[in-house]
């Protein structure tokens, strides 16, 4: 899309890098998702070997701005320090931001006593309060919010939400009403346009359109079913929710702080999500279709997250 | 082979799990070799993702007795703590031994403050003095010796050497000379056999054979060319020697504490090795045949180590 003379891509897509739980298999790797919002890249969780999978799906690690870590279990974080190490070897100079619950700061401090002591870029740590739903990151087009989850240790999910974009003024309207710069600016602000006599020339709805409706993605793993978390991501386009087990292992799910596929679906129903992606599958499920079917019984728009698959949320132009 | 009523396998083989250097690529993973000596399993170095590659080549991590770590650069060790973590999840109960230079003990202590705090088995650390050539491990069939290497930080290679096996007594000789148990035992000790009158019945060479000639494998990575190290592995069957660069990048090899392929070959010549395997290739060499050819110019029995390939040293029965 051409916008103000430069190409603006309004990408919003998620690439799933790992769908396994604690015990890796040949088919399933540890947790990590890569998020591309308007060609800015973010990592969510970073299990062992994530850097290799980034290469496999063509995402240059140097493009990553930040990593959002949910909790300090190895299968969600063991790939982070190796990835940072490789970015150093690749000559990264720009700071890299790590959002994670405490004591990730101590883990990193200890690590850098022994490894990568001359990293050529800054790693900036941002502590996540896992008890609060707050905005933890913001840029011109997106906000990231923490989502308190219920796991065996402090855990935060993340909600990635596009901001409401500025209104665009229709070319036809500019020509039809011969709008001047002041009027165009007013229309962009959402105002109606009046002529010199103060008569209404056109209502804002006729003059402008929203280039896209804000999209959102929520990552909820690892967690027991949480009505609060589901409520916090109301209306989300894609909800990624862990479904480590099925109802056949409901007691084990509860004991280990995980959800069943049915509980993931319950969260999607409560959140009124457009789509549910389930993942973080226990290695006991060679075929996860049983989990998908379990979830689909109450939330039909459920899919099993597939490794190296990209899920795009298209810019919705229906308002134009 | 049947021996004393039970099956004894005299396997001696090396499976290469990673052939890359610091920067991983899709084709090349970080350093790790798995060694199988008489169905006892050992790991040499453990770069990120080693546990996945063990699964890929059918080696159950629970079978590993020990890991021998050369030095504390991430590409040789970042996979170790995740592997140990997974062994815990798999229900390991037997101790696991880690041989590594200091401060690996501190690295582990710090790690276990935050992760895997309830590991169900003991991890036993053995500090390697990287300045000394000493026996660091021994069991009934094998010894492991440290090899001082020359890298940017304290680094030790490892020499895995089968012990000289007990002599077997030939069935034909037992029948021919009607040997009693005392005579068989004496023959096994390497003695000649005499009759009741003290007359020589048979020389030991006629009565016995060595079931195999002791085999050996040396792992030298990362290192500059070291005449001392080459001398310490004299007569080795397979020498694995790093060849991060070719002579085209000789200065860079020197600056970074690495060898060229020619220098690896020089070490194999000095060691009078049967075979040289080169690896730890810089990602700049998409095709490593240039490195193999460079080495073959002075040491023809050179091969590029291939990932997930197993190199077996057969039991040599020529003495039978």
Give the pair of three-digit tokens for residue A318: 């229906």
Residue B4 confidence (pLDDT)? 42
Residue B53 confidence (pLDDT)? 95
Residues A45 and A81: their CA atoms lie apart, in Å, by: 12
Is B114 inside a domain boundary? Answer: yes
Residue B151 confidence (pLDDT)? 97
Average pLDDT rounded to a whole number, residues B12-26: 93
Domain identity same for B228 and B260: yes
Rounded percentage of chain A residues whose pLDDT exceeds 70 = 96
Residue B8 confidence (pLDDT)? 54
Residue A228 confidence (pLDDT)? 98
Domain identity same for A106 and A198: no
Residues A97 and B192: their CA atoms lie apart, in Å, by: 75
**A196 vs A55 pLDDT, higher one:** A55
Contact state of B79 with A29 under an 8 Å Cβ cutoff: no
Mutate which of A46, A56, A62, A82 to disrupt the B interface (most B C-beta within 10 Å)?
A82
Of the candidate ranges A243-247, A316-320, B258-262, the one whose mean pLDDT is the lowest:
A316-320
Domain identity same for A241 and A254: yes
**What's the mean pLDDT when you consider all of chain A?**
94
Residue A142 confidence (pLDDT)? 97
Q: Which long-range contacts (CB under 8 A, 24 or more apart) does B87-90 make?
A: B87/B61, B87/B62, B87/B121, B88/B116, B88/B118, B88/B119, B88/B120, B88/B121, B89/A22, B89/A23, B90/A23, B90/B61, B90/B62
User: Is residue B117 very low, low, confident or very high in pLDDT (cuts 50, 70, 90)?
Assistant: confident
**A37 vs A1 pLDDT, higher one:** A37
Residue A24 confidence (pLDDT)? 80
Domain identity same for B39 and B177: no
Residues in chain B within 8 Å Cβ distance of A22? 86, 89
Of the candidate ranges A161-175, A243-257, B262-276, the one whose mean pLDDT is the lowest:
A161-175
Rounded percentage of chain B residues whose pLDDT exceeds 90 = 88
Give the pair of three-digit tokens for residue A121: 């870029």
Alpha helices per DSSP H over A128-286: 171-176, 181-188, 204-207, 227-232, 250-256, 261-271
Residue A320 confidence (pLDDT)? 37
Domain identity same for B87 and B184: no
Give the model confidence (pLDDT) of B179-223 as tens digits.
999 999 999 999 999 988 889 999 999 999 988 889 999 999 999
Distance from CA of A271 to the nearest CA of B (A): 33
**A214-to-A2, A65, A118, A229, B296 alpha-carbon distances in Å:** 19, 21, 41, 20, 61
Is A317 inside a domain boundary? Answer: no
Average pLDDT rounded to a whole number, residues A67-87: 97
**B80 vs A23 pLDDT, higher one:** B80
Facing residue for A82 by CB, picked from B72, B74, B86: B74
Domain identity same for B69 and B203: no
Is residue A110's pLDDT more than 70? yes
Is B319 inside a domain boundary? Answer: no
Residue B202 lies in domain: 168-209
Domain identity same for B53 and B202: no
Is A320 inside a domain boundary? Answer: no
Is B75 catalytic? The answer is yes
Alpha helices per DSSP H over A47-103: 50-56, 74-77, 80-89
Distance from CA of B145 to the nearest CA of A (A): 25
Residue B9 confidence (pLDDT)? 72
How many folded domains does chain A comprise? 2
| DSSP 8-state class, residue A248 | G
Domain identity same for A121 and A48: yes
**What's the mean pLDDT when you consider all of chain B?**
94
Is residue B320's pLDDT more than 60? no
Q: Is B112 on the interface with A (CB under 8 A)?
A: no
Is B35 inside a domain boundary? Answer: yes
Judge whether A96 and A87 are in contact, CB under 8 Å.
yes
User: Is residue A8 very low, low, confident or very high in pLDDT (cuts 50, 70, 90)?
Assistant: low
Judge whether A46 and A66 are in contact, CB under 8 Å.
no
Distance from CA of A137 to the nearest CA of B (A): 26
CATH of the domain at A104: 3.60.15.10
Is residue B318's pLDDT more than 80? no
Is residue B23's pLDDT more than 80? yes
Distance from CA of A202 to the nearest CA of B (A): 58
Residues in chain B within 8 Å Cβ distance of A114? 72, 103, 106-107
Residues B172 and B178: their CA atoms lie apart, in Å, by: 9
Give the model confidence (pLDDT) of B305-316 as tens digits.
999 999 999 986
Q: Is A154 on the interface with B (CB under 8 A)?
A: no
Average pLDDT rounded to a whole number, residues A278-301: 97
Domain identity same for B132 and B187: no
Contact state of B72 with A23 under an 8 Å Cβ cutoff: no
Domain identity same for B6 and B132: yes
Contact state of B110 with A115 under an 8 Å Cβ cutoff: no
Rounded percentage of chain B residues whose pLDDT exceeds 70 = 96
Is residue A114's pLDDT more than 60? yes
**B176 vs B5 pLDDT, higher one:** B176
Residues in CB range of B251: below 8 A, 6 or more apart: none
- Among residues A240, A239, A238, A247, which one has the least CA distance to residue A285? A247
Is residue A9's pLDDT more than 90? no
Facing residue for A52 by CB, picked from B24, B106, B110: B24
Residue B213 confidence (pLDDT)? 86
User: Is residue A318 very low, low, confident or very high in pLDDT (cuts 50, 70, 90)?
Assistant: very low
Domain identity same for A45 and A180: no
Q: Is B86 on the interface with A (CB under 8 A)?
A: yes
Residue B102 confidence (pLDDT)? 97
Is residue A51's pLDDT more than 70? yes
Is A319 inside a domain boundary? Answer: no
Give the pair of three-digit tokens for residue B284: 């700049």
Q: Is A110 on the interface with B (CB under 8 A)?
A: yes
Is residue B69's pLDDT more than 80? yes
pTM score, whole prediction: 0.90
Domain identity same for B159 and B242: yes
Is B320 inside a domain boundary? Answer: no
Residues A158 and A44: their CA atoms lie apart, in Å, by: 8
Is B196 inside a domain boundary? Answer: yes
Facing residue for B82 by CB, picked from A25, A48, A51: A48
ipTM: 0.88
Of the candidate ranges A197-201, A279-283, B147-151, the one whose mean pLDDT is the lowest:
A197-201
Residue B6 confidence (pLDDT)? 41
């Amino acid at each position: 899309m051409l916008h103000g003379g430069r190409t603006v891509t309004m990408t919003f897509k998620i690439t799933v890098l790992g769908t396994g739980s604690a015990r890796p298999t040949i088919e399933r790797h540890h947790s990590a998702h890569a998020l591309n919002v308007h060609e800015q890249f973010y990592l969510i969780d970073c299990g062992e070997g994530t850097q290799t999978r980034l290469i496999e799906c063509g995402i240059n690690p140097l493009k990553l701005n930040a990593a959002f870590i949910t909790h300090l279990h190895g299968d969600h974080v063991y790939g982070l320090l190796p990835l940072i190490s490789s970015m150093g070897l690749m000559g990264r100079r720009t700071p890299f931001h790590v959002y994670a619950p405490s004591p990730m700061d101590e883990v990193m401090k200890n690590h850098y006593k022994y490894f990568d002591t001359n990293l050529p870029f800054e790693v900036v740590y941002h502590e996540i309060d896992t008890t609060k739903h707050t905005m933890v990151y913001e840029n011109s087009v997106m906000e990231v919010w923490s989502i308190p989850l219920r796991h065996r240790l402090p855990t935060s999910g993340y909600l990635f939400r596009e901001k409401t974009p500025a209104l665009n003024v229709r070319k036809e309207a500019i020509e039809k009403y011969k709008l001047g710069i002041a009027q165009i600016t007013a229309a962009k602000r959402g105002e109606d346009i009046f002529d010199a006599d103060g008569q209404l020339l056109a209502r804002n709805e006729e003059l402008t359109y929203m280039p896209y409706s804000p999209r959102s993605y929520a990552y909820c793993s690892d967690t027991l079913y949480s009505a609060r978390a589901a409520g916090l991501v109301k209306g989300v386009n894609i909800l990624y929710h862990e479904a480590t087990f099925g109802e056949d292992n409901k007691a084990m799910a509860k004991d280990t702080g995980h959800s069943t596929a049915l509980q993931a679906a319950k969260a999607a129903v409560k959140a009124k999500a457009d789509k549910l992606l389930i993942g973080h599958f226990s290695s006991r499920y060679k075929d996860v279709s049983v989990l998908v079917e379990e979830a689909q019984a109450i939330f039909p728009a459920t899919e099993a997250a597939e490794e190296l698959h990209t899920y795009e949320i298209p810019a919705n132009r229906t308002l134009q």
